[in-house]
Structure 1
Amino acid sequence: MSTSDSRAGLASTSNPHLKSAISKAAKHLMPMLVILYFVAFLDRTNVGFAEEALQVDRGVSDGAFALGAGIFFIGYALFEIPSNLLLKKFGARFWLARIAITWGIVAAIFAFTTNDTMFIILRFLLGVTEAGLFPGVIMYLSEWFPNKVRVQMIAIFYLAQPFSQMIGAPLSGGLISVGDAVTPWHGWQVMFFGEGILAVIAGIASLFFLINSPHDAKFLNDDEKAALSATMEREDSARTEDGPSGVWRAMANWKVWYFTIIYFCLQIAVYGTTFYLPQQVAGLIGQKVGWQVGLVAAIPWLVGLFACYYVGRAANTVLRRRNWGTMFYVATGLCILGSAWAGAANLPILGIMFITLAVASFLSVGPITWAYPTAFLTGAAAAAGIGLINSLGNLGGFVAPLMRTAFNEAMPTESGAWGVVSLGVFAFLAAVMIYCTKFFRQAKSDEFLETTVTTAAPH
């Protein structure tokens, strides 16, 4: 048997060693990655719980808050690609830990915010220090998990978003309430400091739990290492044929820019909804931001958790990824528009339902979206291309709050409906673009979606 035939046999989807290796890798790596993103998303979005308090206690204006909420993504975008390239140089284990520790320190310093300028600077620095976490993990997963199961693993990673809001929303609201009641600090200071320290602890823990590559994994036996390595090398060869090689070719590749636009549209919907979710829920139920609002704001994320997991697990063919991606982008847009209408019509229960469905939809479509670039990018091209998609795509998080504020000022209503409507339109553009991938040339890497690698999710 030739060497190529031997490696193909090792990479065969019927090889029990491959299935065992994938299952073990998921159980050992995914919990730590979920924890890292859980804390990152918590520190990125907890500012929504402190908006009113920062205005009262520190005089932070609406304009400064909107700029600060969005400027995070400027720092994030500027340092995303360099961070991803450094991850390739130093290894995921060390670099992901460095990211978590430094952003945790910055997040804790938010407790000492004194004015508009300091708030804006800290939001920028938070983006700089967190840059590279998300695309670094996406690239890391593409080096550990075959294409057939990659959406499932990205979906498990994405579960950190609903977990951070489902648990983090009442946590943030609770820390504010407890901080105001039993500490000499303001509640929002307790929230920022406590949640920042969580990131530092998570970063230190990741040094002990993450492994750079299958070759270094002590939890895999020799047969499992050989099978998983052969599979990933086989897919790397296909991605090299399908996609660009090198940093500059990746950054100039038209497909990279195509998916950058799609991701930009998605992030406008995600962050335009997430930043203002506590305030929107408070307006719908007629309560101040605190424990009760935190509990209600957790409902959309609880539903989204299940939707993200089950859609990611089932989206394991080319046709499903395209059709479901299109459907969930359309659903995201329609539900965001529906939440605006319900708010204007003073229908709180219907408003919560629309917000819940919008969150479930954009969480479900995120892993599907990332399956496309990871199927044709590898090596340094993956570091640059995935970094570019995430950095420029995340500028949607900068645009969303400013756009929402601008529409509300231009067409003021008591519910702020027009600001919400402006967010939903971009989801429809993303739906059209995902559907149009059916006209792309059939890539060799798509062959791996038509095979039958399956594995149980980590428990």
Structure 2
Amino acid sequence: MSGAVDIDAGVRRGAGFEEQTYRKVTLRLIPFLVLCYVAAYLDRVNVGFAKLQMLGDLHFSETAYGLGAGVFFIGYFLFEVPSNLMLQRVGARAWIARIMVTWALVSGAFFFVQTTTEYYVLRFFLGAAEAGFYPGIVLYLMQWYPARRRSHVLAIFMVGIPLAGIVGGPLSGFLLEAFKGVHGYAGWRWLFLIEAAPSLVLGVAAFFYLANRPGDAKWLTVEEAELLTNALDGTSAHQTRVASTVGQVFCDARILLMALIYFCVIMGQYGLTFWMPTLIRGSGVRDPIMIGLLSAIPFVVGAVSMISFGKNSDRTGERRWHLIIPMAMGAIGYLITVWAGSNVPLSMLGLSLAAAGVLTPGPLFWALPTAILSGTGAATGIAAINAFAGLAGFVSPYLIGWLRDLTHSATIAMYVSAGVVTLGAAMILLVPAKLVNR
């Protein structure tokens, strides 16, 4: 009888049991976290659609819009590392809930904006409220998945970005028109208020739904929790521990290099997400609902690209070229968008290629720093890299807005975006392959 029990336990702990356990974890956590990220990203970038009406209504310039869009990332930068350290101290369940409820309240407050000062202040506080959410999720998933599984899981999670575009584009276009003049208020005001509601609901739900670690999850068996914990211990044992404390993180030149690479990735992303509605309108499309529908197309392409590259990167263990190739695609896509002019089909081709190219590197990038981070350094390093790169979210919209006001054209701005993405791809070659490839 004892032998039969041992055989049964061995079967349960075999490859089939491992795959079944990770499938269970993924189905439990990832759909909910994707919904949270969709809500977060929608509240962050819906100002791009509000802009179609808000600028004329409040008499804002393109530069003022770009500055406000970018001020978000100043607040994000200042509070990113403290937020991630607090998440590590109090646990993801409570801290992610706090982040989401706070940003929902701030986002809804945009309903009342009247002046550029109010716009800037609320964008700053929105960034401060959301600080720590994305790097916190990266840190949270590190507590559930070993390194060999993270790129694919993060790619699925970050599908929230294109999903926010797929859902948010048509929704935002509809809200701008359907709620225009309701109770005497402009459609863009209702857009902010209505789109803040999902974040509020999901933030409350997160407190009751998430478990901090496998050992805390009541929906796992003892055997499943042990398997997950042991797999993480194995990852730590084979990890290159070059940065495990706060001091080591800020003294490691490779962390700085990775922060610069991610800065280029993020600048490429926000050159697209904050300005896509404006670029589509510039190609000759005027109806807000049609702009919303067309804006969903590049995000669909981006979602497919993210998952495909992420899955293949985990399968092969290769990291660098899975970043370089899509970033080159993104630069080419920006150039096609410039050359397309008023040719709508060609513009959509360029935007779709750009979306695939600048969205795909997001999740794959984190295979680089997590290969050299451990312990407290993981919480600090992930937050520090993300915070520094987040400054691109300030630079990109402000720079593009200023260039558009200066030249009355998007051409120079798109060339700059293409150049920055190309620079980021080139810097990846400076990261030793043996350090990050499996």
Normalised by the length of structure 2, the TM-score is 0.94
Partners of 2:76 and 2:387 within 8 A in 1: yes
Amino acid at match of 1:202: L
Q: How far 1:409 sits from its partner (Å)?
A: 4.4
Cross-structure match for 1:57: 57
Paired with 1:181 and 1:116, the residues of 2 have a C-alpha distance of 22
Q: How far 1:292 sits from its partner (Å)?
A: 1.1
Cross-structure match for 1:313: 311
Cross-structure match for 1:385: 381
Amino acid at match of 2:349: M
Q: Quick check: 1:127 aligned with 2:121?
A: no
Q: Quick check: 1:251 aligned with 2:250?
A: yes
Cross-structure match for 2:343: 347
Cross-structure match for 1:199: 199
CA RMSD of the aligned region, Å?
1.9
Q: How does 1:129-148 map to 2 (within 5 A)?
A: 129-148=129-148
Cross-structure match for 1:453: none
Cross-structure match for 1:436: 430
- Segment of structure 1 superposing worse, 23-32 or 102-111: 23-32
Q: How does 1:288-303 map to 2 (within 5 A)?
A: 288=287, 290-303=288-301
SS at match of 1:194: helix
Amino acid at match of 2:197: I
Q: How far 1:181 sits from its partner (Å)?
A: 5.7
Q: How does 1:45-124 map to 2 (within 5 A)?
A: 45-124=45-124
Amino acid at match of 1:434: I
How many pairs are equivalent? 429
SS at match of 2:220: coil
Cross-structure match for 2:325: 327
Paired with 1:430 and 1:155, the residues of 2 have a C-alpha distance of 19
Deviations 1:100-139 (A, max 9, x none): 0000000000010011100000000000000000000011
SS at match of 2:319: helix
Cross-structure match for 1:279: 278
Paired with 1:205 and 1:107, the residues of 2 have a C-alpha distance of 18
Cross-structure match for 1:304: 302
Partners of 1:17 and 1:227 within 8 A in 2: no
Paired with 2:131 and 2:205, the residues of 1 have a C-alpha distance of 19
Cross-structure match for 1:361: 357
Paired with 1:146 and 1:77, the residues of 2 have a C-alpha distance of 28
Paired with 2:193 and 2:315, the residues of 1 have a C-alpha distance of 44
Paired with 1:204 and 1:405, the residues of 2 have a C-alpha distance of 36
Deviations 1:347-375 (A, max 9, x none): 22111101011101222221111111122
- Segment of structure 1 superposing worse, 68-77 or 56-65: 56-65
- Give the one of 421, 426, 429 matched to 1:427: 421
Q: How far 1:317 sits from its partner (Å)?
A: 5.2
Paired with 1:374 and 1:92, the residues of 2 have a C-alpha distance of 18
Partners of 1:267 and 1:393 within 8 A in 2: yes
Partners of 1:68 and 1:119 within 8 A in 2: yes
Deviations 1:220-242 (A, max 9, x none): 21111111101101212333x43
Paired with 1:433 and 1:377, the residues of 2 have a C-alpha distance of 20
Q: How does 1:150-165 map to 2 (within 5 A)?
A: 150-165=150-165
Deviations 1:175-197 (A, max 9, x none): 11111165432111111001112
Cross-structure match for 2:4: none
Partners of 2:51 and 2:65 within 8 A in 1: yes
Q: How far 1:383 sits from its partner (Å)?
A: 0.8
Normalised by the length of structure 1, the TM-score is 0.89
SS at match of 2:184: coil
Cross-structure match for 1:269: 268
Partners of 1:61 and 1:116 within 8 A in 2: no
Q: How does 1:401-420 map to 2 (within 5 A)?
A: 401-410=397-406, 412-413=407-408, 415-420=409-414
Q: How far 1:277 sits from its partner (Å)?
A: 0.5
Cross-structure match for 2:42: 42
Q: How far 1:306 sits from its partner (Å)?
A: 1.4
Partners of 1:59 and 1:115 within 8 A in 2: no
Partners of 1:110 and 1:119 within 8 A in 2: yes
Paired with 1:306 and 1:135, the residues of 2 have a C-alpha distance of 23
Amino acid at match of 2:380: A
| Residues 1:436 and 1:420: Cα distance change in structure 2 (over 3 Å) | same
Deviations 1:16-57 (A, max 9, x none): 333222111111111111111101110100001111422222
- Segment of structure 1 superposing worse, 352-361 or 365-374: 365-374
Amino acid at match of 2:384: L
Paired with 1:206 and 1:267, the residues of 2 have a C-alpha distance of 27
Partners of 2:319 and 2:368 within 8 A in 1: no
Amino acid at match of 2:235: E
SS at match of 2:249: helix
